[in-house]
Structures are given as structure tokens and as C-alpha cells.
Structure 1
Amino acid sequence: MHYALNLRTFFYSHYFYLGLRFAAGLVGVTLISLQFTNLHTAMTVCIGALCTALMDMPSPLRHKFNEMSASVLLCSFVTLLISLCAPLHWLLMVMLVLISFFACMMVVYGKKSMPLQLATLFIMTMSMEHSMTASQSFIHTAWFTSGAVAYLAYAMGVSWILRHRIKQQVLAEALFELAHYIDIKADFYDTRFNLNEQFNKLVRQQSVLADRQQASRDLILRAHLNAKDAIVVQTHVCMLDLYELVLSTHTDYAQLRLHLADSPVMTTLHDLAWKCARDIESVAYDVTRKKASYPEISYGPELDAVEAELAALQARIAAGKPQQEALAVLRAQRNKIRAIIRMIGELHQASQKAYATTPFWVDADMGPFLSQQKYELRMILSHLRLDSPIFRFSLRVAMAISVGLAVAALLPYAAHSYWIVLTIVIILKPSFSMTKQRRTDRIIGTIIGCVITAVVLHVISNMAVILAMLVLATVATPTFIYLRYRYAAVAVSIMILLQMHLIAPGNNDLIMERLVDTFIGAAVATAFSFVLANWEYQSVPRLVRGVLEVNLRYMQASFDLLQGKGKDDFAYRIERKRLMDSLAGLSSALVRMLDEPASKRRAVEDINLFIVQNYLLVAHVAALRAILRRHVVELPTEPVNAMLGISHDQVVRTLSQALDPQAAYIHVEALPDAPAADAVPWSGWPLVQRRIRLLQADAVKIIGYSQAVLRNIA
């Protein structure tokens, strides 16, 4: 279950704060405008505030101002344009289609542009019902803009006051997702769970975790001006280091189960991982409550049980039983888990006070770690071609809205055609899987919302109670819109239907008409989700190549770090982030493909194995780094660096071969073992050699899986 759906953490999450901020701003702007205008004008002001509020998300203050200002300007322009065109029906229809097309083209700017697209299409649909003179159109737009600007000023003020609080909440969300990631890894020690299914879950969660970590970076690393900011910076960096340690815990779980399946130590390892997840959650919970975090979980009994099992294995080996492999695997897991427990302790410490120094970024350019905000016209122009998925999506929406308007004109009752259009806009998304999920949530949410509204209006006549329900729905809508859209659909249906009842009471068919309009809009959106569709398999070759290219750069940065060629790990962190982002993008495409029709699913298993193998390379590098740190005292630098250099050359050749289009049809021989260690006494030789062999072997497997992906898609 998502952490924000748990009552213990819900009221501390940024989702709940967003709902409160949204509702307070919307209700406040409306009530103030009612003091100076009539109800109709106040609703225009309210809609202006609502369109700007759709852009009110956790963002750096400068980005938030740019995003919300863009919403104010664009939505005001669309309001004026549609109002001026409304008296001429044919011109209005043309403008609705054109605006729909260009609004959808804004998707080229990434996820942050999706609320702007929705706000633009929302105000377009809300403005199409009103026929005005030219002078009335300008006055109407002025009132709309005043509401938009008022909410902009309010939101920026609140966000400035709560800027540190928002950083804490976004950081806490990333920590909660890391805890969930460890929960999935814990089940690898439970023989009841299938290893392949667990890997699939792990890869999916890795995609979510990468997204939350990026949101945390964007807010925390842009500016840290005081001691309170320094604490969240320290905690954030400690979280990333902990994540790398968690990656390094990957082992051959099949071998672990083979050797220790009958031993209670497997349950002990599971319990240790589970406790680590709870410990991280306790840090996240304290961060959301603006408190320093202190350790409360004891790992002693489980660690003692592991030590007892290691002693028992040593005794069996001394008695002549072949238990060396089991001993080596268990000892490695013990060492890694101890390192993770120590790092969680540092995570607690990082939340307690600001320290004098901040690691790795003093005078460094944080740009590579941060999302860049670029809104350039040439980006849209470059996608004005039929093979562009965004261009095809824009055409699809424009055609669907045209059909929705035509159907609305034929309905026998006095339909509000904007409801059909709005349903199409909300449901029809760039990918088929997103459209499918949004359609289900929209229909179910609307039905539940209509039923609740009908019961409320039938049972309750007290205006104060109805207004309280309206405010509650207004809070719930933005709270759940990015958390559980189905809940948001319930809330928004209640909110709009109650508003309609208050503005124009007496329409007994209002709820039934809204249901019919929703089903019509959903049917049109579903039909057009197959028109000029962009299936996920079409983008997979590009994404696979992107992963391989980034992995090559990551391997270069990794071996430079392992060989001590750089003064710090800054370049390594950048390339690790880029690789995780590229893997998350491919993983997201795979998840979306699984929701597409069976005929459009291609190379699903091969894509999944390709993702897993790249993930294993990251895990091996993290493990090598942990081994070198653990044995740094007696480390024989020159021979170890020579071994790492040879391994690096072999891995780079392998990944380069995977990038070669001609390599799809050639036989690949296994790489030779790592060179024998020099005659230098060092306890880390067996561990380093083993990890290098695994790294090389998994690099070779990447060639096979990338070939299989390309063959099956072609």
C-alpha cells in the first residue's frame, strides 16, 4: 500500500498539504470575489483559480512560478479566444479542434507539462458553452485572469513559507519508497516466493524509486541556505549512499536457497531486511514530522543467529563436510547487511543536526543531477511529423473531440457537451495503457460520485452540510489526483455536481445526464485510443540502445572510481543516476506494454531479462566498491588496478558489441576469467575475482538479450 494511503502518514504527506492548499486557495478566492461581485462572476474567478491550481505541485520556487505563470497566460488566452469565437458555431468548432491539437503537442516538454495541457483543455471546454459579445468576452477574461493571478500569488506565498517543509515531505516519500524496495528484496530470502517474479517486482519498484529520488534531488540540491536545509541535504545524500549499499546486497539467491534452504538462517536474513525497511520508514516518518530521528530497532538477536549459523558451517567444514560455498555466500550477506545497518545509523544521525561539511558537491555544478526546464518552440516544431508519437497523440485527441462534439449535438436532451469533451480529454492519454487505466478509474469514480451526490441531495437539505461536503470534495480532488485517480474521480464528480446544484437547483436529471455524458465520452476515447496508436514496442529499440550507451559511460566512470583515478565520486554519481533513469524509462515502457492488447506485446520476457541484467551490472559495481572499501587497509593498489583495468576493457568491448547492429547475428564467446592475483597477501582477492567474473558473465548475457529483443520486435 502506498505510504500516503496509510492514516498514520497521510496527514503528514505533501499530497494532503496540496489538497489543503488547493481548497483553501480556491474557496478563499471565491469567497473574496463574492464580496464584490455576483455568483456568476465569482464562479468565473473560481475557474481561473482552479486552472492555475492544477499547476500547483511540489517544485523549486522558480520553476513553480514559471509553470504557474505559463498556465495563467495560456489559459487566459484560450478563454478569450474561445469566448470571441463562441457566437460563430463553425469557427468555435474549428478552434476547439486546433486548441486541442496544440495543447496536446505540449507533451513534448515532459511530465511537468501534463497539468498545463489539462488546464488548457479544461478551460477550453468550460468556455465553449458561453456565447458573449466581444466586450463581454474581454470582461469575462479579465475576471478569469484575476482569479488565476490571485491563486498564483497565494500559492507562491504559501510555498515560500513552507519551502523547507515541502523538501522534507518529498524526501520522506523517497525514503518510504526505498523502504518498500527493501521489503521486496527481503522476500528473496523467502523460498515461498518465485525469484523471477521478485525480480520483476524489484525492477518495477526501481522505476518508482528513481522518480521519487529525482523529485527529491530537484527540490533539495538546488539551494540549501541554512542549517535546516543542510539537514535535508545530508539525509538525501545518505539515502543515495544507502541505496547503493542495498544494490550491492544482490547475490546468487538461487545458490543461497540451494545451500541454506533447510536452515532457519534464511528466515533470519528475511527478518533483518524487514527490520531495515522498518528502520528507514521510522526515519521517513520522523522527517515528515520535522523531528530528528533516533534508532529504535535492535538487530542484535538476528545478527547473533547469523553468527551462530556461520560458526555451525565452520564446524561442519572442519568435520570434512563440503560447506565452503554456503559459508562464503552467507558471510558475504552478513557483511553487507552489517554495512547497511551502519549506514541506516548514519541516516538517523544525518537527520539530527547540520554538520560542518557537505560531501562531494562543494563548488560543483549540480545541473547534471537536476531536471532541466526548457520550453522552446523548436521542440514542438521538431515533432510535427507523422512518425512522432506526440504528433499522433495530438491528432488522436483532436479527432476524438471532433467526434465527441458531433455526438453531443445529436443527443435528445439539453446536454452540456463540455462534459463529454472533458471526459475525452481526461481519459485519452499518450499511451494505450494510461488511457485504459484512466478510463476505468473515470467511469468507476464517476458512478460512485454520482451515487453519493444523489444520496446527499436526497437525504440532506441543510445548506451548511452541503457546503461542507463541497469543501471536503475540493480538498480530496487534488490530494488524490496524483495518488489514486479513482478517488480523485469520485471527489471531482461530487464537487462539480454539488456546484451545479447550488448554481442552478431544480434539474432532477442532472446526475443521470452526467452519467450518460461520461459513458459517451469514455466510449469515444476508447475507440480513438486505437487510432494512430503508438504501441510501446515501437519505442523499445531506441530505449534499449539508450540503456547500452549510458551503461558504457557508467562503466567508464565506475572503473575510474574503483581504480582511484578521480578526486571524488561526483562523475560516478552522475552516470549512475543517468543509467538508473534510462532503466526506469525502459521498465516503465515494459509495464505499459503489459496493459496493451496481446497482439501488441512483443519480447516481453527478453526486455525484462535485459533490464535485470543491466541492473545486475550496477549491483556488481556497487559490490566491488563495497569490497574495496571494506579491505582498504591492506589493499594492494597496483595489482588490483591492473585486474580492474583488464576487466574494464573486456566489459566495454562486450557492451560495444551489443551496440553494433551487425552483432545481432554473430556468435559471442564467453569472456575469460579474471587474471590470477599477484603473489600479494590480501583477504579481498577471492571476493574481487568472483565479482569480476560475475560482472563479465552478466555483460555477455546483455548481448544475447539485446539481440533477442531486437529480433522479436522486428
Structure 2
Amino acid sequence: MNNVLPSRVDLQRRLRAALRTALSHYVANGIGVAIGLMLISAGVHVFFGAAAASAASVGVIVTAPPDLPGPRRGKFWQMLPAPLLGMPLFFGVQMLQDDPLGLGLLIVPAAFISFLAMAWGKRGVPVAIALIFSAVFSLAVPTHEGRSALDGALRTTAYFGLGAGLYVVYAVLANLALNGRYRVQLLADTLLALAQLMRVQARRFGRADPAGGAPLPPDPALTSQLLARHAALADQLQSARDVVLESPRTPRRQRLAGMLLLVLEMRDHLLACELDLDTLRAQPGHAHGLRALQSVLRDMAGDIEQLADALLLGRVPPPLEDRRARLAGLRWEPDGTGTGDASPAPWAGPGPSPQLLARALADRTGHINDEALRLVALARGEAAPNLAVVRASWQMFVSPTAWSWSPFFSLWRWDAPPLRHALRAALAMGAGYIVSLALPWGTHAYWILLTIVVVLRGSLAQTLERRNARVAGTLLGCVLALGVLSTHLSPLGLIAVLTLAQAVAHGFAVRRYLITAVAATVLGLVQSHMLNTGVSTSFALFERLADTLIGTGIAWACSYVLPSWERGQIPALVARTVAAQARHARVALGLGQLQAVDDAPELAWRLARREAYDSLSALVQATQRSLKEPRAVRPPVDSLQRLQAHCYQLLAQLTAVKTMLLLRRGQLEPGRIEAPLAQAADRIDAALLAAPGAAAPAAPARPEAAPGPEPLPDPFANDLNPWLVRRLDLAVLLAGQVRSEADIARQPGPRAP
């Protein structure tokens, strides 16, 4: 029986994960792209024939990469560059099909220009892929026999352009139609990411020796996982902001936007739960209470997952249990039995007693409970969102959609990563083309180039991941494609297969590339078969695998040419992170919000908070990527991880201060806290923004190590001023530690060759 129950639980967990995947925004987006491919291919097939439909489907496939869930405004301009710039490239390849030298001289600079689009970041990557796809897939489109080169190229390009143009219109309309569903799905994904972070945080509460119940020292792997979860949530939040906060004009949109803003508050309170945790863990007898907090946090994570599932299924979530009473009933005795009087015993040591710290930690967990209750109340329609903040947030927090020339003008530095990646890609494409000409099965030369395009990434870590997935996916995809083509399906049946393969390939391109590699192999082979009508359905499995291995080998080798090691980017990321921390501290410690009559100070703080989290997320991700690089060129990883941990701790201290200023202002005396707030802001500025190498200002002694004449009062009594001053002193201390680690991390790495 003990062996059966875990398997059932595991099966239920897998089924639940599969259902969430099926209802996710990336699957919905993939299905939408596939339906567009099917409609356009079938329509062109009816009116112009099979050859025209094949060329038009290539136009759709080339145009589709930028079609991702996003805001309604700017969708047309996001979709337009791929077909507009890709069509001349498609035509040029068609014209030079019979001129190997001229074709090579076109493909190499085309690859360089296409990959320059990655200078526009996440918006530019799909455009770059689409542009180079237009050249690679044009190699697979046969020339029209019996026609002049110009006539055949013009005719094929016209059908390509027809498919691409129709798809741009379709993509804009589909994004408009799916906008409401995308809002729900992106919010649900954000809730699931928050729940995962809560579970990792809960593991931090429960680390104790199973034999004796004694607390164990912090686990570096668990800390690293916590940082990674924070970074993943920050990325997910920005994707959700761009869609959920756009034009919240209807009550339903306003509720979803209000829920997203509550997620931001929950993240802050969750981060504040790190405060005093290590101090508590060092005290004997508190493992029982921490495990009780762990149980509460896990239960709340389950509630958040249940809310996300209800949103995805279109159901009204059930009411949420208020766990405040459960938290208030926790006992914090030194013996750890969990029984007896809740009143703390007299504390003779320096600083606050462990009992007071524990009660404060339970109260911060209670803030998460309060926000979760508001979240479910909004989802059930039982509460109204803060419309002033929602409407202002849509103007302030949605990413711009207009294209700018600034990234292009900033490219032309020898150490600029996009420029080096473009040169690297051009070299790889040129090498792949030369190798393809020398192979005895040169009729499928485009497969090597396609493999290079999808495997070669901007960093070595991403290239290695794509390399392995591409080889495994090609093997599985060849077997599937062989089975499909051996059934001798009709043209419409093959279009249906293309539709399904396109849905899977597009939907999982970012989430799990192995699945995309399988679907893309089926898509490419079936598409090639349709383009080369009359050719036998059989193909050599060895040739496809050999092409894939050659392409991945070239991409892997070229990833070491003109490398942009993460160590070269770390100093700029560290500088951005430190500056963002300093600005957030300055805004968070201001009293403007308590004295203002509008929401301007709060919005300024929210903007500063977003940049603090986003910059820290970028630094965490760069550090993780650097672990796949050669040891000789890695940045000081240990120092970077300490820097990241201290930055999150600084954010947590400032969050606790902000919570006191906003939620418990009645227990603070403005006249007594104005000077400490201003002094702390100045000291944090001096610590973080001083020139590298300059002497850091002296930090205050730790309150725990410097007993004052009077012990800190109960934080739940009327006077919170001593606790706020303690938080400020700890924040200043952490700022000095951030500065020390930043000085080490900002040391210049190896210069670009």
C-alpha cells in the first residue's frame, strides 16, 4: 500500500501538470499559429494549386516566429519586419539557386545582417530567426522548371509574400481575439511561478536535523535555487504586465490587473520572510515553530496553485481559509514542544529575543495570507481592485512597443555581444554552406544551415542546451516523419500534419526545445516533401542525422569564436544592479507617500522596485549561464552569489520598513523617524554609489551584537520606532556588504580577443 499511494500522487501531479500545459498561453499561441498556417495554405491550395500553397506555407512559417502573446497595440509593427525584410532575401536565394558561389556570397552577409536584429533583445530575437529562415527555407523551395530564373523566382516569391502578408493580418486579428484569454493564462502562469517560489521558501523554513531536530546551516544549493526562482518570477511578471496591465478599461480586466499587482505585494512579503531566519535557525528549540511556518506556507502555495487552475479552467475559485488564527496560535518555546504559554520569557541577551523575532516572522507570513485572501476575493468578484493604481500602472509598467534605432547605433563596438554573435553566425553559416556543397547528398544542404540557425545562441550555455536537444529531437522527428510519409497522405492530409507540427514547434520553442526539435523535424521533412512534388517519400535517415550532427558540430565549434563570455558583461550588470538598489532605497525610505495627496510617490517606488528586481534577475541569469563556460573565463561566481543574496536581503529589509510605513504607520512617530530614515538613505547611497575602490563608509554595528540600555519592545505593542531603526541599521550594514561584493565582481574580466 505504501508503494501504491506515492505512485498515485505522482500520477495525479503529472496529470495536473499536463493539464496546465494544455491550457497554457504558449499552447494556445501555437494552436493559433497552426490554424493560421492551415487556413492560408488550404486557401492558396484551392485557388492556386499545390505548388503555390507550399510556397505560401513557407511564407507563413517564416513570418510566425515573432507571433507571440503580447499587447494588442503595436502587434502589426511587431509582425511587419520579418516579411518585409525577409521577402527580398527569399527572392535573392531563389534567383541564385543555380549559382553556388553567388548563393554563398549572399547567405553569409544575410546571416550577419539578420543576427544583428538580436540587438533589440527579446523583441529582436524572433525577428532575427525569421529573417534567416527566409533564406534557409528558400533553399528548400525548388525553382519552377520550364521558366526563366527571373520568372520562376518572381512567381514563387509572390506566393511566399501572399502567405506572409495574409499571416500578418491573421496574426493581428488572432492576437486581438485571444487577448482576453492571454490575460488569464499569463496571470495563471505568474501565480504558478509564485507558488513554486513559496515552496522553495518553505524549504528554507524546514531545514532541520532529522535525528535531533536541530537547525542545519544554510544550504548553498537551496539558496541558489531560491535566487533562480526569484529571477524566473521577475521574468514572468514582466511578460504578464505587458498584457494584463494593457488598457484595463473593463471590470474583468481591472480585476485581473488588480490581482497581478497583489502578486507583486506577495512577492515582497515572501522576500521579507528571509529576515531574521538565519538568526532564528541558530537558536535552539525553534525548529518546531519553523516547521509549523513551513506547513502554513506550503498550504498557501497549494491555495495559489488552486487559484491558478481555477483561472485556467474558467471556474470561480473556492473561498480561501484565513490562516491568521493558525499563525497567531503558534508557540515559540525554547524547548520546541509547541505547548505552554505563548508569552516570551525574559530575554537577557543582546538585541531582540528569539521569541520576538519568531512572532515577527509569523506576522510577515500573515501578510502573505492577507494578500492571498484579497487575491481570491478579487477572483471571485467579492472585492474591487484599486483602480487608481491599476490605471496608473498600465501607463507606467507596460513595455514600449515602438521600434527604435538606438540599439542599432550602439552595436558598433568590438566588444558588443550582438555584433560578435552576428559575426560568429555568419562564419558558422559560411562554413556550413561550404560543407554542404562537399557532401554527396547536397540536395538537402539547407538542413545543415537550419540546424546552425536554431542551435547557435548568444551564450555557450544556451548553445550546449540546444545542441543536445537538437540531436535527440532530430532522431525522434525523423522516425515520426518517416511514419507519416510512408502512409502516402493526400495534400490536404499533409497540410493537417504541417498544422499540428507547426503548433507544437511554435508553442514549445521557448519552454522546451526538445519537443520543438521533434516537431520542427517533422515540419521540415514534410514541408520539403511537399515542395519537391513527385519525389519519393522515402529518405535516408542517415543523411538527416548526419546533417544534424554536422550542423550542431559547426554551431558548437563557432560558439568559441569571438566569444562573448558572461564575465565581460558582468561589470555592467553589477553596476546596473547596484544603482537600482540605491534608487530603490532612496525612494522606499522617503516619507513622501505618507504626506502626499496622490499616488505619485507610490508609483515612483513601484518603478524603482521593478528595476531593482529586474536588474537583479538579469544578474542571476548571467551568473547561471556562466557556470557552463570554461572555468578559466568564469566570473567570481561565489562573490556574485553572495552579492545577489545580499541584494535580496537588502530588498527584504527595505520591504519590512516600507510595510511599517504603509500598514502600521499608527505605531510610528514621524518626528522620531524622519532623521533616521534620511540618514539611512544617505548612508546607503554613500555605500552603493561610491567609486569602486573608494573606502566604504563605516557601517553601524549589528544590533544583535550591541546591547542597548533598553531591550527592544514587543513589535505588536504601540511603539515600532526601535524596530524601524533596527531595520534601517541592518539595511545600511547590508549596503556595505553589497558594495564589498560588487567591487570584487566588477573587476574586469578577460578582454575580448
TM-score by length of 1: 0.92
The 1-side partners of 2:488 and 2:343 are apart by 79
Q: What is the aligned partner in structure 2 of residue 397 from structure 1?
A: 425
Matched to 2:687, the amino acid is T
Query: Are the equivalent residues in 2 in contact too, given 1:415–1:513 (CA < 8 A)?
Result: no
Which residue of structure 1 aligns with residue 458 of structure 2? 430
In the TM superposition, 1:139-154 aligns within 5 A as: 139-154=155-170
Q: Which runs of 5+ in 2 are unaligned?
A: 1-9, 209-215
Q: Distance in 2 between matches of 1:30 and 1:149?
A: 13
Q: Determine which of 678, 684, 688 is the counterpart of 1:655.
A: 688
Aligned match of 1:306: 330
- Give distance in 1, aligned partners of 2:683 and 2:696: 16
Q: CA 1:647–1:565 in structure 2 vs 1: closer, same or farther (change >3 Å)?
A: farther
Number of aligned residue pairs: give it: 709
User: Which residue pairs with 1:485 in the alignment?
Assistant: 513
- Equivalent in the alignment of 2:481: 453
**Structure 2 counterpart of 1:75:** 86
State whether structure 2 residue 50 is matched by structure 1 residue 39. Answer: yes
Tell me what 1:440 maps to: 468
| d(CA) in 1 for partners of 2:189, 2:738 | 33
Query: Percent of aligned pairs with the same residue?
Result: 25
Deviations, residues 451-471 of structure 1 (Å, cap 9, x unaligned): 33345556x567698776554
| 8 Å Cα contact 1:260/1:326 also seen in 2 | no
> 152-161 vs 677-686, which deviates more?
677-686
Please state how far the C-alpha of 1:562 moved relative to its aligned partner.
7.4
Aligned twin of 1:594: 627
Where do residues 637-648 of structure 1 align in structure 2 (5 Å cutoff)? 637-648=670-681
Q: CA deviation at 1:52?
A: 1.8
- Pairwise mapping of residues 476-515 of structure 1 onto structure 2 (< 5 A)? 476-501=504-529, 503-506=533-536, 508-515=538-545
- Which residue number in structure 2 is paired with residue 23 of structure 1? 34
Q: Aligned with 2:283: secondary structure?
A: helix
Give the equivalent residue in structure 2 for 1:371: 399
Q: How far does residue 483 in structure 1 lie from its aligned partner after superposition?
A: 1.1
Corresponding residue for 1:617? 650
Per-residue Cα deviation, 1:581-606 (whole angstroms, up to 9, x for no partner) = 11111111101101112222120010
- Are 1:248 and 1:626, in contact at CA under 8 Å, matched by a contact in 2? no
Q: Partners in 1 of 2:282 and 2:330 — Cα distance?
A: 17
**Counterpart contact for 2:323–2:366, Cα < 8 Å:** no
SS at match of 1:693: helix
Report the equivalent of 2:301.
277
Secondary structure, counterpart of 2:353 in structure 1: helix
Separation in structure 2 between the aligned mates of residue 531 and residue 335 of structure 1, nearest angstrom: 54
Determine helix, strand or coil for the equivalent of 2:624.
helix
Judge conservation of contact 2:352–2:712 (CA < 8 Å) in 1: no
* Alpha-carbon distance, 1:63 to partner: 2.3
Q: Which one is further off, 439-448 or 554-563? A: 554-563
Contact 2:324 2:366 in 1 (8 A): no
After superposition, give the CA deviation of every residue in 1:175-197 in whole Å (9 maximum; x if it has no partner): 11111111111110121584322
Residue 177 of structure 1 corresponds to 193
Contact 1:234 1:351 in 2 (8 A): no
1:702 aligns with 2:726: no
**Pair 1:11 & 2:22 matched:** yes
Residue among 556, 581, 588 paired with 1:526:
556
- Correspondence list, 1:219-618, <5 A: 219-259=243-283, 263-297=287-321, 299=323, 302-303=326-327, 306-307=330-331, 312=340, 314=342, 317=345, 325-353=353-381, 358-361=386-389, 364=392, 366-377=394-405, 379-455=407-483, 470-501=498-529, 503-506=533-536, 508-561=538-591, 564=594, 566=596, 567-568=598-599, 569-618=602-651
Q: 1:511-566 deviations in whole A, cap 9, x for unaligned?
A: 32111111111111111100001100011111111111122211111111577354
Q: Using a 3 Å threshold, how does the CA distance of structure 1 residues 356 and 576 change in structure 2: closer, same or farther?
A: same
Q: CA 1:554 to 1:667, structure 2 compared with 1: closer, same or farther past 3 Å?
A: closer
Cα pair 1:109 1:374 within 8 Å, conserved: no
Question: Which sits farther off after the overlay, 119-128 or 76-85?
Answer: 76-85
Q: CA deviation at 1:676?
A: 9.3
3-state SS of paired residue (1:661): coil
Q: 1:261 to 1:396 in 2, by over 3 A?
A: farther
When residues 358 and 203 of structure 1 are mapped into structure 2, their CA distance, relative to the original with a 3 A threshold, is: same
Note the aligned Cα RMSD (angstroms): 3.1
Q: Contact 2:498–2:526 (CA<8 Å) still a contact in 1?
A: yes
- With over 3 angstroms needed to count, the CA separation of the structure-2 counterparts of 1:359 and 1:440, relative to structure 1, is same
Return the alpha-carbon distance in structure 2 between the equivalents of residues 593 and 94 of structure 1: 35
Structure with the bigger RCO (C-alpha within 8 Å, sep 6+) is 2
- Indicate conservation of the 8 Å contact 2:633/2:749, yes or no: no
Shift of the alpha carbon at 1:649? 1.8
CA contact (8 A) 1:397 1:428 kept: yes
Q: Sort the Cα spacing of 1:304 and 1:548 in 2 relative to 1 into closer, same or farther, 3 A.
A: closer
Partner Cα separation in structure 2 for residue 70 and residue 559 of structure 1: 45
Evaluate the alpha carbon distance shift between residue 85 and residue 380 of structure 1 in structure 2; reply closer, same or farther with a 3 A threshold: farther
SS at 2:186 equivalent:
helix
Q: 1:3 to 1:297 in 2, by over 3 A?
A: farther
Tell me the residue number matched to 1:123. 134
Distance 1:647 1:96 in 2: 58
